[in-house]
């Protein structure tokens, strides 16, 4: 017998196959970075002239676009969104369109070509996340951008086209559907209870314990009650805060240490698996309130977090047609494997 579980944040039902739980070794996936991959690539140290000029970098010595950098942020060479111009909203008969105004930046996490997430040195990941935080804060000053997303694709199955370790930042002129669904659920809950839905979920998970993967004084990671995917993990700051951009340097280092522990646990249990992680942030509060409408001031009711999705199972017609995911590994089993790993 399977179980249908409802996720209060995404308002999504998920089917959890309770009886035929798939063990970690039962998943087959391609190697994230093929062994045929050659270096140096455009993102390697010494190849700085092969990329657009950098937007931000951390380096001990030398000028902009020289080598010896620790972390480097560049605009995407083939950006999905253009940074210059007005949004120009129009009706096309029944439809709506606007110009693709936004930003698309690449945070090169390390000068080294091949590093899997579990083996990134702590100070390196911390420098990369700090650089991402600084760039996101900067992009949020632009009130054309309603939302700024940070994410990483690891492995071709996860949509990575460049193998050199990188994070991506995208600023969009619309509040994306998946985000507005979470914002809407969080706001309804806050209006009812005057408490943050995410904070209540964290309390309940810590109290119950069976889905906790890793916890320290500042952050908690757990397999969500209604996980869409096997070994899906959500990471939350334990202190209520709606904006990742407001995190201190010290807490960014603590976040990096926590994230690394989670990646190590995943690597031990699943091996070197393809994955995506996305930082789900509050909306840009610098946007003009009249334009942002409903999403203008959400400091109390939204809670930023990171969603980690190992890419072990393909999407099939059932999921595309319904959004009702089938997860063959109960999150309680996944969390137990991951807790026992270290």
Residues in region 279-318 near a second copy by CB under 8 A: 279-280, 307, 309, 313-318
Closest by Cα among 16, 18, 10, 77 to 43: 77
Q: Identify which range of 115-123, 127-135, 144-152, 213-221 contacts a second copy by CB under 8 A.
A: 144-152
For a second copy, the binding residue among 145, 219, 277, 304 (CB under 8 A) is 277
Q: Identify which range of 51-59, 110-118, 261-269, 272-280 contacts a second copy by CB under 8 A.
A: 272-280
323 touching a second copy, by CB under 8 A: yes
86 touching a second copy, by CB under 8 A: no
Quick note: the x/- pattern for a second copy over 2-31, rule CB under 8 A, is xxxxxxx--xxx-x-xx-x-----------
Q: Which residues pair with 72 in a beta bridge?
A: 57, 108
HSE of 128 in the Cβ direction (CA atoms, 13 Å)? 26
Shorter beta-carbon distance to a second copy: residue 81 or 190 = 81
278 touching a second copy, by CB under 8 A: yes
The DSSP letter of residue 131 is H
Shorter beta-carbon distance to a second copy: residue 69 or 287 = 287
- Cβ–Cβ under 8 Å, residues 22 and 328: yes
CA distance 95 to 236: 37
Quick note: the x/- pattern for a second copy over 181-210, rule CB under 8 A, is ----------------x--xx--x---x--
User: For the purposes of burial, counting CB atoms within 10 Å of the CB of 341, is it exposed (0-12), middle (13-18) or buried (19 or more)?
Assistant: middle
157 touching a second copy, by CB under 8 A: yes
Residue 189 Cβ vs a second copy, minimum distance, rounded to whole Å = 9
Shorter beta-carbon distance to a second copy: residue 82 or 289 = 82
- In degrees and rounded to multiples of 5, residue 152 shows phi and psi of -135, 135
- Cβ–Cβ under 8 Å, residues 245 and 144: no
Size of the site for a second copy (CB under 8 A): 75
Contacts of residue 173, defined as CB under 8 A and 6 or more positions apart, other chains included, come to: 87, 98, 101, 102, 144, 145, 146
């Amino acid at each position: 017998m399977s179980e249908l579980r409802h996720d209060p944040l995404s308002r999504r039902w998920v089917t959890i196959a309770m009886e035929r739980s798939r063990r970690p070794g039962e998943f087959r996936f391609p190697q994230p970075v093929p062994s045929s991959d050659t270096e140096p690539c455009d993102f390697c140290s010494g190849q700085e002239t092969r990329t657009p000029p950098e937007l931000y970098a951390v380096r001990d010595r030398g000028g902009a676009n020289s080598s010896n950098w620790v972390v480097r942020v560049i605009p995407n060479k083939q950006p999905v969104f253009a940074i210059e111009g007005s949004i120009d909203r129009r009706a096309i008969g029944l439809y709506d369109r606007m110009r693709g105004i936004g930003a698309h930046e690449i945070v090169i996490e390390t000068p080294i070509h091949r590093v899997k997430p579990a083996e990134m040195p702590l100070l390196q990941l911390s420098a990369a996340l700090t650089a991402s935080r600084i760039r996101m804060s900067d992009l949020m000053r632009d009130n054309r951008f309603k939302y700024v997303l940070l994410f990483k694709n690891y492995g071709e199955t996860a949509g990575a086209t460049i193998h050199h370790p990188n994070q991506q930042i995208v600023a969009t002129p619309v509040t994306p559907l998946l985000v507005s669904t979470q914002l809407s659920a969080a706001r309804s809950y806050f209006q009812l209870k005057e408490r943050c839905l995410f904070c209540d979920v964290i309390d309940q998970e810590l109290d119950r314990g069976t889905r906790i993967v890793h916890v320290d004084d500042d952050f908690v990671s757990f397999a969500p009650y209604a996980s869409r995917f096997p070994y899906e993990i959500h990471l939350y700051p334990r202190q209520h805060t709606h904006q990742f951009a407001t995190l201190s340097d010290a807490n960014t280092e603590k976040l990096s240490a926590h994230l690394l522990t989670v990646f190590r646990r995943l690597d031990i249990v699943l091996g070197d698996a393809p994955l995506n992680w996305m930082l789900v942030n509050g909306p840009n509060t610098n946007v003009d309130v009249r334009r942002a409408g409903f999403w203008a001031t959400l400091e109390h009711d939204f809670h930023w977090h990171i969603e980690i999705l190992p890419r072990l199972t393909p999407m099939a017609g059932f999921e595309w047609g319904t959004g009702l995911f089938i997860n063959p590994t109960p999150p309680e089993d996944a969390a137990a494997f991951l807790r026992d790993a270290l």
